[in-house]
Amino acid sequence: MSVLVYASSTDGKFKKSAFEVVSYGKKVAEQLGTNIIALTINADEATELQNYGAETIVTVSNDQLSVFNAKSYASVIKQVAESKGANVVIIDSSIDGLYVSPLVAVALEAGYASNVVAAPSNTSPFTVKRKAFSNKGFNNTVINTENKVIGLAKNSYGVHESAASASVESFDATITESGVASTNIEKATGKVTIADADVVVSGGRGLKGPENWGMVEELADILGAATACSKPVSDLGWRPHSEHVGQTGKPVASNLYIAIGISGAIQHLAGVNASKVKVVINTDPEAPFFKAADYGIVGDAFDVVPQLISKLKEFKAQNS
Amino acid sequence: MKILVCISHVPDTTSKINFTENDTKFDTNGVQFVINPYDEFVLTRAMWFKEKQGASVTVVNVGNATTEPTLRKALAIGADDAIRVNADATDGFSVAKEIAAVVNSGGYDLVLAGKESSDYNGQMVPGMIAGLTDFNFVNGCVGMEIDGTNATATREIDGGSETVSTSLPLVVGGQKGIVEESDLRIPNMRGIMMARKKPLNVIEPANSENTTSSQSFEKPAPKGAVKLVDADNVDELINLLHNEAKVI
């Protein structure tokens, strides 16, 4: 019995979510009185994971795994879980994590709880709290099977340092035929993605037109933030669909979400409610977003945002 | 081509979410149920395959009799027939097993499902069907074409998109982009009349054992009132975000 954490990497580098799942795995292993094994696939600096509690690090290096492939990756995770006798497998909620997890669950005949937001409240029966109803509720779910797969929601447990010195071993995985071949990857370079951003700055119809997005981008630049928009804005073609956040768009689970000129329709809130701190700037004091926000300014974005930009520049100059 | 579209029966997105029976059940009182929004996108895509390339489209739901109006709506949009597996859908894995049994006995080439349902947000049923049937699998799909048995699909990745080539039989977890929202079909009167005569077959479940069970529900903790900052005092906002919320 062990806990296996799959710590994903992109181009060999770990993202914050890898450290978060290892931190979480460490906690679950403690609760179960067992050890934690972290699995990496083609990562450059696997030993980084020992800073978050990994006791054993299993590294798989294989050119056939250089591009993510759900079926092949699921098979590797299964092989390592079986070879190490792990019966709890923890995976992040990135797009690729959500793609691979159900396949791992089937391969291990494991009950799978996704979108989990906290350490197990009980280990017998094994009970975890997960998000449901598009962030409008939580479900306490019992996993009944001996093997278990947990999908950890992004930015929910947090990164906790806990230094250990890990033993590192390489694992020679068998690569399975997958039937799905990557032919092209298009990625914006040099931009913070909504999925990875600690801060997201989002604009709505209150900004009146695409020509006014300069200040949104400038504010995002200062904060190292990703830019996003509401559904009407992407429907009107002011901003690309890839920036649409909300129930049918991208989910946001950032530390800080700044909504400018967004009234806060229930579908929008469902997609961004997982953010820790929400700031709303809107001319309409009755905008529903004020009920969901932590901080608000009732005012015209065209006055407030330029002020905010100049004051934040001063703040950053003093605090860096 | 035989297409199976998985339809989840979910509360309308504007529903108030409440729980009952000591927070163990979702309170359906006054709640309107609809086709899962993610499933609407793939259902419309299935209609295009049917109209442009020739395909039969079956819709399937795992649920009790209360989900039948939702299946009828899918028939009114243009599906040819419907299957309801007569079981309460309480565990994603067992739902996937029930649908995999339908896939295996029905000889489907393409299984389309929304990547998640807007109620339990499990994001697991499409992948599990693929795992159980050993079909190829594309998740988070935002565009696809099929030529003979070859398929090309685009899926969303963090910060961009990936194009993949694959082949039938195939399971696809789809989302907005596989068709655009403006393309979504709504039932017209003729469709609604025709749907009444289309077959809706109720089959008994294979009785797969639940791998997970719901113990209780919780609502998010009530949020404190918003702290309003004067529009002329953005310094105060920066101060609060730095010293109180500690996010900048």
The span from the CA of A113 to the CA of A129, in Å, is 9
- For residue A228, the chain B residues in CB contact (below 8 A) are none
Which of these, A300, A294, A264, lies nearest to A281 by C-alpha position? Answer: A300
- Kindly report, residue by residue over A66-78, the tens digit of the pLDDT: 999 999 999 999 9
Angle B22-B25-B28 (CA atoms, 0-180°, nearest 5)? 120
Kindly report the nearest CA distance between residue A246 and chain B, in angstroms: 11
pLDDT confidence of B31, banded at 50, 70, 90?
very high
Domain assignment present for A186: no
For residue A115, give the CATH number of its domain.
Answer: 3.40.50.620
Contact B13 A143 (CB under 8 A): no
A158 and A29 share a domain?
A: yes
Q: Which residue of B has its CA nearest to A192?
A: B159
Final residue of a structural domain among A151, A170, A189: A170
Q: Which residues of chain A are within 8 Å of residue B115 when distances are taken between CB atoms? A: 98
B86 touches chain A (CB under 8 A): no
- C-alpha A51/C-alpha A73 separation (Å) is 25
Q: Which residues 15-44 of chain A have a CB within 8 Å of chain B? A: none
Question: In total, how many domains does chain A have?
Answer: 2
In a domain, A189, yes or no: no
The answer, yes or no, to whether residue A148 has pLDDT greater than 80, is yes
Provide the pLDDT for residue A158: 96
Q: State the complex-level ipTM.
A: 0.96
Q: What is the dihedral of CA B8, B10, B14, B20, to 10 degrees?
A: -160
Say if A179 falls within a structural domain.
Answer: no
Please give the average per-residue pLDDT across A11-39, as a whole number: 97
Does residue A181 lie in a domain region? no
- Per CB-CB distance under 8 Å, the chain B contacts of A10 are 158
Return the structure tokens found at B247. 């996010």
pLDDT of residue B207: 76
Q: What whole-number distance in Å separates Cα of residue A40 and Cα of residue A80?
A: 11
Can you give the CATH number for the domain in which A296 is found? 3.40.50.1220
Residues A148 and A285 both lie in one domain? no
Residue B151: closest C-alpha in chain A: A180
Give Cα separations from B108 to B4, B55, B72, B120, B213 (angstroms): 6, 11, 21, 26, 30
Closest B-chain CA to A320: B248
Q: Can you tell me the mean pLDDT for B188-196?
A: 96
B173 DSSP assignment: E
Bridge partners (DSSP) listed for residue B112 = B5, B172
Number of Cα atoms under 13 Å in the Cβ half of residue A143? 28
Q: Is residue A177 part of a domain?
A: no
Q: Are residues A145 and A247 in the same domain?
A: no
Question: Are residues A156 and A302 located together in one domain of the fold?
Answer: no
Q: Are residues A74 and A149 in the same domain?
A: yes
- What average pLDDT does this structure show over B187-214? 95
Residue where a domain stops, chosen among A150, A170, A190: A170
Tell me whether A135 touches chain B (CB under 8 Å): yes
Q: Under a CB-based contact definition with an 8 Å cutoff, are residues B145 and B151 in contact?
A: yes
Question: Is pLDDT at B18 greater than 90 in this prediction?
Answer: yes
Residues A251 and A159 in one domain: no
Per-residue model confidence (pLDDT) at position B74: 98
Task: Estimate the crossing angle of helix A214-223 against helix A301-318, to 10 degrees.
Answer: 20
B174 touches chain A (CB under 8 A): no
Q: Best mutation site among A140, A143, A193 for testing chain B: the one with the most B CBs within 10 Å?
A: A140
Residues in chain A: 320
Percentage helix, strand, coil, to 5, in chain B?
A: 30, 30, 35
Determine the straight-line distance between the first and last CA of chain B, rounded to whole angstroms.
54
**pLDDT for the residue numbered B224:** 87
Asked if residue A103 and residue A162 are part of one domain, the reply reads: yes
**A112 and A13, same domain (yes or no):** yes
Which domains occur in chain B, in start order?
Answer: 2-217 (3.40.50.620)
Q: Could you report the per-residue pLDDT of A129-143, keeping only the tens digit for each? A: 999 998 899 999 999
Task: Please check whether residues A37 and A162 belong to one and the same domain.
Answer: yes
Banded pLDDT at B248 (limits 50, 70, 90): very high
Q: Are strands A199-203 and A226-229 parallel, antiparallel or unpaired?
A: parallel
Express as a percent the part of chain A with pLDDT over 90: 92
Nearest to A247 among B13, B163, B214 (CB): B13
Residue A176 lies in a domain: no
Give the residue carrying structure tokens 């939702």.
B70
Residue-wise pLDDT for B140-189, tens only, equals 999 999 999 999 999 999 889 999 999 999 999 999 999 998 999 999 99
Burial classification of residue B228, based on how many CB atoms lie within 10 Å of its CB (0-12 exposed, 13-18 middle, 19 or more buried)? middle
Same domain? For A160 and A205 the reply is: no
Q: Are A216 and A291 found together in one domain?
A: yes
CB contact under 8 A, A267 and B92: no
Residues of A within 8 A of B163 (CB-CB) are 182-185
pLDDT in tens, B67-97: 999 999 999 999 999 999 999 999 999 999 9
For residue B242, the model assigns a pLDDT of 96
In a domain, A82, yes or no: yes
Q: Which residues of A touch B124 (CB under 8 A)?
A: 101-102, 105, 112, 114
Whole domain around residue A248: which residue ranges? 199-318
Same domain? A153 vs A266: no
Q: Is residue A163 part of a domain?
A: yes
Contacts of A303 in chain B (CB under 8 A): 231
- Chain B residues with CB inside 8 Å of A77's CB? none
Asked if B220 lies within 8 A of A273 by C-beta distance, the reply is: yes
pLDDT attached to residue A217: 96
pLDDT surpassing 90 at residue A177: no
Mean pLDDT of A177-195: 89
Confidence of residue A190 (pLDDT cuts 50, 70, 90): confident
